Amino acid sequence: MITFEDVTKRYRDGTVAVDDLSMEVPTGAITVFVGPSGCGKTTSLRMINRMIDATSGRITLDGQDVREIDPATLRRGIGYVIQQAGLFPHRKIVDNVATVPYLLGWNKKKARARAMELLELVGLDPGLARRYPFQLSGGQQQRVGVARALAADPPVLLMDEPFSAVDPIVRASLQDELLRLQSELRKTIVFVTHDIDEAVKLGDTVAVLRVGGRLAQMAGPATLLTEPADDFVREFLGRDRGIRRLSFISAKEVRLSPAPSDLETDENGGPLGWRTADGLAAYGTFNPETDSLRVALDAALLSPNGTAVAVDEEGRVRGVAGRDAIDELLAEYAPPAAGPARGGASGSGGGSSSGAGDSEGAPA
């Protein structure tokens, strides 16, 4: 576990980058630091591996003050992924990945063998090992960056806006890849981003920081979306919080009805469309085992009759869920009414749950 205890970073010119930050970063989970530029998120991250030293307060790693550890030794035990990958241009991919093992004094053969394992782990063709970074695409370089950070199997991984320099499609696939890796590796990951959607997608816990380096709120993404601590967090989260929160509710509990006869299926039981007078109409599907309520609702909205088609892994129809079935679950997961804890937020913190959401949706 990483703990921040009253950590402040003040630069010589008086700028306060991080102001009296206290928090606990849980082991084996992804904690995202998110906030606008100037909120001290990168500074906070870099104080963990001492690329920046705190002015006051202390940061502990499994109970030990990081200031008591030699910086280079500390850093070799903490993986680091930087924006734009920061690969060494003069080294082949395999040697880039093997950087920390080399620094730890592994022999070349062992270090390279480990590097090859990691390239495979992050989903890269081993044929790329002999290439130089400039021969790879941005997305591939970023995967190499992740592989390099994992090479010596550090328990902690720091990621500093690692996916912000790649296009949205590649970014989405890198994010999915990270979640897949994390489900296998269970590292303690601190992830910095300015993109709230990325934060909500990746974080087990999200720490929202405000300009001046103060912690505005730290919570799980679903809680964050329904119960933003104040106006700043609410504004930073942006629109559609209610809809976005549905991503964190499993569609498993949606009540399924048997497929009606007007749903055409193929010989394997896969859906073809809704039979109408004008032919087959569009349909939407969701997999109750793996998808969220948001996907189920989306599937319902895609069908002319408002009915989502539930399918299994092989794409066979398992049943259907009408809007009424989805609504039942929506009601079950409605945000808590008038929580006593959120007094400060100018009226909207109280109020009936859905009402607060609605007034919030209107442009300020």
Contact set with another protein (CB under 8 A): 49, 51, 71-76, 78, 80, 82-91, 99-100, 103, 132-134, 145, 148, 158
Smaller CB distance to another protein: residue 127 or 134? 134
Least distance to another protein, CB of residue 162, Å? 11
Least distance to another protein, CB of residue 298, Å? 38
For 76-212, strand residue ranges (E) read: 78-81, 156-160, 188-193, 205-210
Least distance to another protein, CB of residue 176, Å? 24
Smaller CB distance to another protein: residue 50 or 245? 50
Q: 249-287: buried (b, 16+ CB within 10 Å) or exposed (e) per residue?
A: bebeebebeebeeebeeeeeeebebbeeeeeeeebbbbb
Least distance to another protein, CB of residue 123, Å? 21
Smaller CB distance to another protein: residue 36 or 86? 86
**Long-range contacts of residues 120-126, Cβ cutoff 8 Å, at least 24 apart:** 121/147, 121/150, 121/181, 122/146, 122/147, 122/150, 122/177, 122/181, 123/177, 124/93
Name the residue type at position 223.
Answer: T
Q: 226-236: buried (b, 16+ CB within 10 Å) or exposed (e) per residue?
A: bbbbbebbbeb
Backbone angles phi, psi at 235, to 5 degrees: -65, -40
Least distance to another protein, CB of residue 81, Å? 8
Smaller CB distance to another protein: residue 93 or 309? 93
Least distance to another protein, CB of residue 88, Å? 6
Backbone angles phi, psi at 93, to 5 degrees: -55, -45
Neighbour count for residue 302 (Cβ, 10 Å): 15
341 vs 311: CA distance, rounded Å? 41
Least distance to another protein, CB of residue 281, Å? 49
Smaller CB distance to another protein: residue 143 or 245? 143
- The answer to whether 73 and 136 are in contact (CB under 8 A) is no
Smaller CB distance to another protein: residue 89 or 340? 89
Residues 6+ apart with CB under 8 A from 157: 78, 79, 80, 81, 149, 150, 187, 188, 189, 190
Name the residue type at position 274.
Answer: W
Name the residue type at position 110.
Answer: K
Compute and round to an integer the Cα radius of gyration of the chain: 24
Least distance to another protein, CB of residue 347, Å? 45
Smaller CB distance to another protein: residue 35 or 133? 133
253 vs 232: CA distance, rounded Å? 34
Smaller CB distance to another protein: residue 10 or 131? 131
Smaller CB distance to another protein: residue 157 or 317? 157
Q: Whose CA is closest to 340, among 236, 227, 254, 251?
A: 227
Least distance to another protein, CB of residue 93, Å? 11
